[in-house]
Amino acid sequence: MQSGEREVLVNVDQLSKRYQGDWAVKDVSFKIQHGTCIALLGPNGAGKTTTLHMLAGLLDESQGTIHFHNKQNDFRKSIGFLPQQPQLFGWMTAEEFLNICGQLSELPKANREARLEEVLKFVGLKDVRKKKIAGFSGGMKQRLGLAQAILHEPELLILDEPVSALDPTGRREVLELIREMKKKMTVLFSTHILHDAEQVCDQVLILKKGELKWNGELEQLRSSMEELTIQIKTKTTLKNVFQTGEGILHVKEVADNEVLLQVEKGYDANLCWRRLLEKGMDVEYFNANPVTLEQAYLEVLQK
């Protein structure tokens, strides 16, 4: 292992799942390193949930392998899992629910109470531990779901769309909890919202129609783009001022006095300034934007 490189926790090789002749996931390979936070991105129907269920040991793969610590055995005790729609029992209190989860996780009775106390405090539910779950808000239920997933202190925490059904306040609370949890364990979560990944993750995997289209860091995704966007607005017409060629790939006329230029990576935006000055144009707005993560993500999906 090279200096600074993290130890591999999970190695996924050619993972596939087939349903009645159709591939939900096909030949997906990636590695999960210790201490990282990875976002599994992709539109609805991309195969994210199927992939996570196979990783969590809830679904058998059609082909391919999952090696946990280089051992191909039952590693479910080392995993915490929060499904997209967790089944919480409204007639129970938060304390009762977590106590049952602790028993199912074979958490020793001797330290179960202390662990319940610690987890309830961490997710901000300590003061409502004896309240019925039926009276919880959506954000509170999701935080309780997170509590059960980390109760047995797993090495790998898997979260399926953990914030998709929450309001902005609940979304922010859960993302903050994920940010804190990644300090203590490896986290893999799925989402179709790039902004969520931007907030907390180190690495992204992008799925489209069951196939892996990208595996790398967010900044690598942005820098992989070969184009730059330049937006220009003047007080007079910009008709025929810019044409394709010499680094300009596409000219979009937004209005008579406004254009959007797609230029090659490394293009010198000062060349556009010079052309405007040569023509004596009065510039109202000039912005040479680097490619956004959203643009890079959408381009990957279009390939």
Structural domain contains residue 289:
yes
72 dihedral zone (left: phi>0; alpha: psi -120 to 50; beta) = beta
Structural domain contains residue 1:
no
276 and 198 together in one domain: no
Give pLDDT, residue 119. 96
217 and 282 together in one domain: no
- Residue 44 domain boundaries: 8-222
- pTM for the full model? 0.80
Q: Report the alpha-carbon distance of residue 74 to residue 83 in Å, rounded.
A: 19
Of the residues 222, 253, 268, the one at which a domain ends: 222
156 and 294 together in one domain: no
229 and 218 together in one domain: no
Q: Report the alpha-carbon distance of residue 234 to residue 104 in Å, rounded.
A: 67
Q: Report the alpha-carbon distance of residue 166 to residue 174 in Å, rounded.
A: 9
Structural domain contains residue 189:
yes
Give pLDDT, residue 70. 62
41 and 133 together in one domain: yes
42 and 163 together in one domain: yes
Structural domain contains residue 242:
yes
Give pLDDT, residue 1. 44
216 and 80 together in one domain: yes
Over residues 262-273, the pLDDT tens digits come to 888 777 888 888
**Which stretches in the chain have pLDDT values below 70?**
1-4, 70-73, 225-227, 290-292
Q: Report the alpha-carbon distance of residue 127 to residue 144 in Å, rounded.
A: 13
How many domains would you assign to the chain?
2
239 and 284 together in one domain: yes
Q: Other CB atoms closer than 10 Å to residue 177's CB: what's the count? A: 20
Structural domain contains residue 31:
yes
Give pLDDT, residue 212. 96
Q: In CATH, what number is assigned to the domain containing residue 119?
A: 3.40.50.300
Give pLDDT, residue 232. 87
Give pLDDT, residue 291. 66
Give pLDDT, residue 261. 85
68 and 180 together in one domain: yes
Of the residues 177, 196, 222, the one at which a domain ends: 222
Of the residues 175, 192, 222, the one at which a domain ends: 222
